[in-house]
Structure 1
Amino acid sequence: IKAAYDLSMKLTIIFNSCKCKEEAFKKLALWYNEVEAAGIDSFRSVARSIETHYLTILNYFNNRSTNASAEAFNAKIKSFRASARGVRDINFFLFRLQKIYA
């Protein structure tokens, strides 16, 4: 458990302390090596995700912004659509969305 906690805290520190892409890339590579050495399966899946999407993940370090606002708005649209029990008239649905969330 201690090894898993340490790995998670090291990843948190990388995201909180790194100011540029190059520094983050180096530290993520070192963290990836530690995950491989630890042999914890759940961290291997996280490491594979980071390895697959590292270019997009490193973009976070440019201006420290995420797509969280877009995801939150998407969730609101899905919730609104579910409360309306589906959509028949798309134009009217978009009109209502505009009036509620604009």
Structure 2
Amino acid sequence: SQLHRAKLLFERYPLIEQAYKLSRKLSAIFSNCTAKIIAFKKLALWYNEVEDSGLKVFRTVARSIETHHQSILNYFNNRSTNAAAESFNAKIKAFRAAARGVRDINFFLFRLANIYA
């Protein structure tokens, strides 16, 4: 079973267990917190755990969260993300790559609006 395999893996590689627990705690914050204030406190505690762990990969994540914490905490207001905008931006980039060399910008924008409108 997965539980047995995880137990064996964590016994032999305690850093993997530590990284797994940190990732699950961060996931739990985003899954379970409904209030911005509570999420802020839990993210601060998680950040302290990352600093204590010494894992460089998680320090990078923690620094990104620290830098953008106001924007990240806005997620907890109504639990919405900018995933739709990012997806649309990727579609535009793919369309632009497929239409390389287009000289008529107005026609390019017209086609883009017709396809994705």
TM-score by length of structure 2 reads: 0.85
Identity rate of aligned residues, in percent? Answer: 74
Q: 1:62 aligns with which of 71, 74, 77?
A: 77
Match for 2:54 among 11, 24, 39?
39
Deviations 1:53-98 (A, max 9, x none): 0000000000000111001000001101111124321111110011
The count of residues paired between Structure 1 and Structure 2 equals 102
Structural RMSD (CA): 0.7
Unaligned segments of structure 2, at least 5 residues: 1-15
Equivalent residue in structure 1 for 2:42, among 17, 27, 33: 27
The list of structure 1 runs, each at least 4 consecutive aligned residues, that deviate by more than 6 angstroms after superposition, is none
Q: Does 1:11 align with 2:30?
A: no
Q: Which residue of 2 aligns with 1:97?
A: 112
Q: Which has the greater radius of gyration?
A: 2
Structure with the larger RCO, 1 or 2 (CA within 8 Å, 6+ apart):
1
CA distance in structure 1 between the aligned counterparts of 2:31 and 2:37, rounded to whole angstroms: 15
Unaligned runs of 5+ in 1: none
Rounded to whole Å, the distance in 2 between the matches of 1:38 and 1:99 is 52
Q: Secondary structure at the match of 1:87?
A: coil
* Alignment CA distance shift 1:86-1:22 (3 Å): farther
